Amino acid sequence: MSDVRDLLIELGTEELPPKSLKNLIEAFEASVQQGLEKAELGFESIRSYAAPRRMAIVVDGLQTRQQDRLVERRGPAVASAFDDDGNPTKALQGFARSCGVTVNDLETVATDKGAWFVFKQQQIGAETSSLIADILQQALNDLPIAKRMRWGALPGEFVRPVHWLVLLFGDEVIPVDLLGVSSGRETRGHRFHHPDAIRIQSAQTYAPQLETEGHVIVDMAIRREAIRGQVLELATKLGGEAVINEDLLNEVTGLVEWPVALSGSFDQRFLELPAEALISSMEEHQKYFAVRDSSGALLPYFITICNIESRDPAQVIAGNERVILPRLSDAAFFWQTDRKRPLADRQEQLKTIVFQNKLGTVFDKSVRVGKLAAKIASQIDGDALLAQRAAHLAKCDLVTEMVGEFPDLQGIMGRYYAKLDGEHDDVAQALDEQYLPRYSGDQLPQTKTGLSLSLAEKLDTLVGLFGIGQPPTGVKDPFALRRAALGALRIIIESKLDIDLADLLNYAQQQFTDQLTEKDVVDHVTVYLLERLRGYAIEQGYKSDVFEAVIAVKPTKPLDFMHRLDAVAAFRQMEQAEALAAANKRIANILRKNDAEGELGAIDKALLIEPAEKALADSLNQVKVEVAPLMLQSDYKAVLTALASMRETVDGFFDNVMVMADQPAVRHNRLVLLNQTRALFLGVADISSLQG
């Protein structure tokens, strides 16, 4: 093992995009690590730092050079390397030349497949310092930057102008010219608190020096938690609790190097507006944190994070209070303007908004969704008329002033405006719930009207997009069909809705006139949904073979599908499971080879000759009677427990009976017996899919 040193890479820039900073530094660290590993340079650990004007990587215990290694190249086979006169062939001569030696310098190695010429050379490992520049350049090239920029006449492109580069390996600077700057060991502190250069002593002193000398908390995680702590503490002093949006917290962390929390206030009259509108205005436009009281009501305060310790904080607060006033005034104007017209009056405007060129307008979609939502509501003991009304109003808030300014309030403002219009509470609530679940793990609609609307919305989108040949691809999913599919499945399963997907998808397809161009749309959407169900089931802890056993019988009720998974998972733990799975696999193979799958008629008792086949027939009839009521109750665990009792008679049949008897009638009768036995198991799942 060669000697080791610590490596520091710091790229100093103009202010980096705050929303992208976390992704940029994570990608930078991953690319540098990949480059070191590709170069076969060992190291103890790697960590990254990021602040508005810098990205940095520290590699602890990095080898100072690559290990020496023996390089071996195989050339032509000895048997074919010489001509009839014993002279080297052109192939052998060419191989030697490519290695930079003569034929006489080559060695031979014997293998099971004959002898071969080889060239062996001891390759001296390169110095790490000679490799870092290329690794760094490749890491910068690989960064996920949507649009790179060029500044002045300087070479290279990056997301922001670059002003300095620290490249310190142990105590030595690795000399590199990159993006118009030369590497050194001097960084910069805070733009205002310490604009002068700071000479970095070592990789290990990098972060402490920047904090103590430079007024820069360079560790993004520490800075984020410092901001969180300051915000929570200040909110408590104000007599409330901070509203901390994690996305906003990350963005603010990317905006400041030395966070200082200050609070301000605004006129209480603005508290008449919906809290969500005020919070959106504060977060989106000003990057402020809102404050609530213990009951959840908004307080007339905000918390801002400054990037400087001001000598006159009161002046800073006054400035922020002046800035927030017109923002909140705009929100109040939107609120008052929107309330002049009921939501229902805005339906006509939806005819001017295209949902998708081939699928019509948002108005067209709302009509389709209304019919489907009504059908769903009637199946889950909801109110079909309320569901249809909610669907007709669902997208009306998209044309309000408030949602036009704050798109993240869609649904929320619909709920507020619907209540003011005197709509039924369930209808108003459904306008908000239609978008649930918004992400993995998000809550589901709580009202039956909301469940019906949300599910109908998602299924209509799936059928429509699949129907015009625009399913999601590996990289493109502009209509978020994956999220819609998983959301639909979660709604059905976790809300325990006993509804049939195939039935709903067929009904959804019927609501389109001549827009759909693809064939077998319902089949394709069903397959897509069941594939999403696979991931959901595995996340819930079910094994892949258990899922395969159930999907083989193609149940189209997701809730029923999960009940079958439960039953098969429990059956899999029984001692009879492995033998019955093997027997079912054997039965399936026999039936397949003899084209005996499907309806073959009844068993002819007169043709049952062997005691073992009579025993199986008796067991089959007995279990059929036992499981019939259990199947009606969908008690699949009890069904499979009853089927497990057939293990001995199934084993006895295969041990003592020749299925392919010489007499055609006897052979056919035995195939019928096996077919009915397998059909009984297939009532729940194809247990032949289970692995041992």
Model pTM?
A: 0.80
Same domain assignment for residues 409 and 458:
yes
Greatest CA separation for the chain: 105
CB-side neighbour CA atoms (13 Å) of 490: 23
Same domain assignment for residues 142 and 95:
no
Same domain assignment for residues 590 and 507:
no
Residue 549 inside a domain? The answer is: no
Same domain assignment for residues 148 and 257:
no
Residue 345 inside a domain? The answer is: no
Residue 564 inside a domain? The answer is: no
Q: What H or E segment, with its residue span, contains residue 63?
A: strand 54-63
Report how many domains make up the chain. Answer: 5
Residue 557 inside a domain? The answer is: no
**What single string gives the DSSP state of each residue in 193-244?**
T--SEEE---TTTHHHHHHHTT-----HHHHHHHHHHHHHHHHHHTTSEEE-
pLDDT of residue 305: 97
Same domain assignment for residues 252 and 379:
no
The residue among 88, 123, 158 that closes a domain is: 123
Q: Where are the alpha helices (DSSP H) in 515-595?
A: 521-539, 544-551, 558-571, 577-593
Residue 346 inside a domain? The answer is: no
Q: Which domain holds residue 284?
A: 220-338
Q: Which residue has the tokens 């919070």?
A: 279
Q: Where are the alpha helices (DSSP H) in 434-539?
A: 448-467, 481-494, 501-510, 521-539
Same domain assignment for residues 497 and 510:
yes
Same domain assignment for residues 488 and 517:
yes
Residue 563 inside a domain? The answer is: no
For the chain, the distance separating the N- and C-terminal CA atoms, rounded to the nearest angstrom, is 46
CA torsion, ordered 414, 416, 417, 420, to nearest 10 deg? 150
pLDDT of residue 1: 42
The residue among 541, 559, 592 that closes a domain is: 541
Same domain assignment for residues 46 and 21:
yes
Closest CA to 561 of 576, 547, 575: 547
Same domain assignment for residues 241 and 207:
no
pLDDT of residue 72: 80
Q: How many CB atoms neighbour CB 645 within 10 A?
A: 13
Same domain assignment for residues 179 and 256:
no
Same domain assignment for residues 151 and 110:
no
Please list the ranges in the chain whose pLDDT falls under 50: 1
CATH for 614: 1.10.730.10
**113 dihedral zone (left: phi>0; alpha: psi -120 to 50; beta):** alpha
pLDDT of residue 582: 86
pLDDT of residue 599: 65
Same domain assignment for residues 58 and 198:
yes
